[in-house]
Amino acid sequence: MTIRLTINDQLVEAEPGQSVLEAARASGIIIPTLCHHRDLSPVGSCRLCVVEVEGAPGEIAACTLAAQNGMVVRTETPALGQFRKTILEMLLSSYDDDGNSNVVRAKTEFMHWANQYGAKRLARSAAVARFPVAADPNPFIRVDMNKCILCTRCVRACAEVQGRFVWGVSQRGCESEIAAGAGTMMLEARCESCGLCAAVCPTGALEDKLSLGAGQPDRLVTTTCAYCGVGCQLDLNVKVGRIIRVTSNPQAPVNGNHLCVKGRYGYDFVHPANRP
């Protein structure tokens, strides 16, 4: 049975079990999110996707709100804009990217929303680096937890998709942090370096080491991974005739966003120095 609801004066249809956020996205209405990811279970923790629902008090997170018949939802009001700006400024107050001059992504999801809602870093509450930059010796994934906003996408991606349970939340309150295993290095915590955590990270706290400083690609070439018989699809990020990065393609029929260490990071054989 199809559910009918109104979002921003637009009549929207949803399947039973869909959230307001999913229903909105399916109809092209964009609600900002950080902790939400389409492949991962919703947790409703960042509070950026809050919306107003007629007849319900206060703001409600759209990612965990089940769509119901006759619901009247507003996703952009002045009050919501102010609320989101406050949330983003709170996150910025504990975000420090000083140790990151050679980023992989020109603009992260987090910075995109911060700019959109005019959230600024207040000079007097500027964050201080709490963690060593790039201290984890994982050969493919660079870790800078000073940029972490605790959206827990990496934790859920590793547990729900990859099934390795490397990442977890530790400590509590404003001391909370994402840690590998029992506070160890990633490989010691049984990491397979599939890179999914870096792929879903909205801030660049986790990044692809091989692509640091490589700049932005000219074009994407969708191809099939040459390693095994599964047939994963991936996007080669090409710059001046060279592969600078491999990203997963959410539309890939076999694997979606999922890739293994070879598919995501094993591309240097294409450009060896001794190849004629």
Partner 1 sequence: MQSHSNWSPSDPGSALLAERYGNDSEAVVEALRLIRTRQGGLTSAAIKSVAAALKLPASRVYGVATLNCMLGVAATTSSDKTARVCDGPACWLKGAAQACTALEARLGAGWRVERSSCLGLCDQAPAALLEERPVGGLPTCPEHVEATLPITVETVYELPRPVEVRVMLARAGRVDPDSLDSALDHRAYVALEFALTAPREGVLAEVEAAGLQGRGGAGFPTGHKWWMVEQAPQHPKYVVCNADESEPLVFKDRVLIDSDPHQLLEGMALAGYAIGANEGYIYIRGEYGPQATRLERAIAQAEACGCLGDHIFDTNFSFHIHVHRGAGAYICGEETALLESLEGRRGEPRLRPPYPTTHGYHGLPTLINNVETFSAVPAIIDHGAGWWRGLSSAATPGTKLYTLLGHVNRPGLFEAPFGLTLRQIIDDFGGGMRPGATFRFALTGGAAGTLVPPGLLHVPIDYASAAQGVSLGAGAFLVCDQTISPVSVLRELLHFFELESCGQCTPCRIGTHQARQILDRLAAGQGRACDVDELSRLADTLQRGSLCGLGRSAAIPMQSALRHFRPDFEAAVHDDQADH
Number of shown-chain residues binding partner 1 (CB under 8 A): 47
Q: Which stretch binds partner 1 (CB under 8 A): 96-104, 180-188, 204-212, 227-235?
A: 180-188
Asked if 69 interacts with partner 1 (CB under 8 A), we say no
Residue 194 contacts residue 260 (beta carbons within 8 Å)? yes
Total residue length of the chain: 276
Nearest alpha-carbon partner for 197 in 242, 159, 254: 159
173 three-state secondary structure: helix
User: 76, 176, 215, 255: which one contacts partner 1 (CB under 8 A)?
Assistant: 176
Asked if 179 interacts with partner 1 (CB under 8 A), we say yes
Q: Which stretch binds partner 1 (CB under 8 A): 38-46, 99-107, 199-207, 248-256?
A: 38-46
User: 181, 215, 256, 266: which one contacts partner 1 (CB under 8 A)?
Assistant: 181
User: 16, 132, 183, 231: which one contacts partner 1 (CB under 8 A)?
Assistant: 183
- The amino acid that residue 128 corresponds to is V
Element (H, E) at 90: helix 78-93
Could you tell me the smallest distance in angstroms from the CB atom of residue 184 to partner 1? 6
Burial class (CB in 10 A: 0-12, 13-18, 19+), 120: exposed
What stretches of the chain adopt beta strand conformation (E)? Answer: 3-7, 10-14, 50-53, 59-61, 72-74, 141-143, 167-170, 177-180, 206-208, 219-224, 233-239, 242-248
CA 178 to the chain's CA centroid: 14
User: 86, 115, 216, 222: which one contacts partner 1 (CB under 8 A)?
Assistant: 86
Asked if 173 interacts with partner 1 (CB under 8 A), we say yes
Asked if 78 interacts with partner 1 (CB under 8 A), we say no
User: 20, 91, 201, 244: which one contacts partner 1 (CB under 8 A)?
Assistant: 91
Could you tell me the smallest distance in angstroms from the CB atom of residue 236 to partner 1? 26
3-state helix, strand, coil in the chain (%, to 5): 25, 20, 55
Rounded CA gap, 219 and 242, in Å? 10
Asked if 76 interacts with partner 1 (CB under 8 A), we say no
Asked if 46 interacts with partner 1 (CB under 8 A), we say yes
Could you tell me the smallest distance in angstroms from the CB atom of residue 162 to partner 1? 12
Asked if 174 interacts with partner 1 (CB under 8 A), we say yes
217 three-state secondary structure: coil
For partner 1, the binding residues (CB under 8 A) are: 42-48, 50, 58-59, 61, 64, 83, 86-87, 90-91, 93-94, 124-125, 149-150, 155, 159, 165-176, 179-184, 187-190
